[in-house]
Amino acid sequence: MTEEHPFARFVRIIGKGPNLSRPLTEDEMYEAARMILEDRVEPLQLGAFLCILRLRTEVPEEGLGFVRAIRDTLELPENPPRVDLDWSSYAGKKRQLPWFLLSALLLAENGIRVCMQGTEGHTPGRLYSREVLESLGVAIAGSLSEAADHIRAHNFAYVPLAVFSRRLQDIIDLKPVLGLRSPVNTFARMINPFSAPYEMQTVFHPNYRDVHRETAALLGQPHMAVFKGEGGEAERRPGKPVVVQSLHDGVMSEEEWPALLPGKSVRTDEEMDPGRLRAVWSGDQVDTFATAAVTGTLAIALRLLGRAGSIEEAEAQAQAMWRARDRGRMEAAA
- Gap between the Cα atoms of 65 and 61, Å rounded: 6
- What is the model's pLDDT at position 84? 98
- Gap between the Cα atoms of 212 and 218, Å rounded: 10
pLDDT (average), residues 289-310: 97
Higher pLDDT, 57 or 305: 305
- Gap between the Cα atoms of 218 and 81, Å rounded: 24
* Whole-structure pTM value: 0.94
Span 175-202, pLDDT tens digits: 888 888 888 888 899 999 999 999 999 8
Span 54-68, pLDDT tens digits: 988 899 999 999 999
- Gap between the Cα atoms of 277 and 102, Å rounded: 8
Measure the CA dihedral 70/50/176/138, to 10°: -20
Span 8-55, pLDDT tens digits: 999 999 999 888 999 999 999 999 999 999 999 999 999 999 999 998
- Phi then psi for residue 201, to 5 deg, are -115, 155
Domains of the chain: 8-71 (1.20.970.10), 85-333 (3.40.1030.10)
- What is the model's pLDDT at position 331? 63
- Gap between the Cα atoms of 198 and 64, Å rounded: 17
> Is the pLDDT confidence value at 156 over 90?
yes
- Gap between the Cα atoms of 14 and 29, Å rounded: 11
- What is the model's pLDDT at position 160? 96
Span 200-210, pLDDT tens digits: 998 877 778 89
Span 107-130, pLDDT tens digits: 999 999 999 999 987 677 789 999
Long-range contacts of 204-213 (CB under 8 A, 24+ apart): 204/91, 204/228, 204/229, 204/231, 204/232, 206/243, 207/57, 208/57, 209/243, 209/245, 210/245, 211/57, 211/58, 211/59, 211/60, 211/63, 211/186, 212/186, 213/245, 213/246, 213/247, 213/252
Tell me the one-letter amino acid at 152.
Answer: R
For 167, the 3-state DSSP assignment is helix
Do the Cβ atoms of 295 and 261 come closer than 8 Å? Answer: no
- Phi then psi for residue 260, to 5 deg, are -80, -35
- What is the model's pLDDT at position 265? 66
pLDDT (average), residues 148-176: 95
pLDDT (average), residues 162-176: 92
> Is the pLDDT confidence value at 332 over 70?
no
Do the Cβ atoms of 88 and 118 come closer than 8 Å? Answer: yes
> Is the pLDDT confidence value at 313 over 80?
yes
> Is the pLDDT confidence value at 309 over 80?
yes
pLDDT (average), residues 286-305: 97
Do the Cβ atoms of 168 and 148 come closer than 8 Å? Answer: no
- What is the model's pLDDT at position 329? 73
- What is the model's pLDDT at position 124? 72
Q: List C-alpha distances in Å: 222 to 3, 165, 180, 305.
A: 45, 24, 32, 11
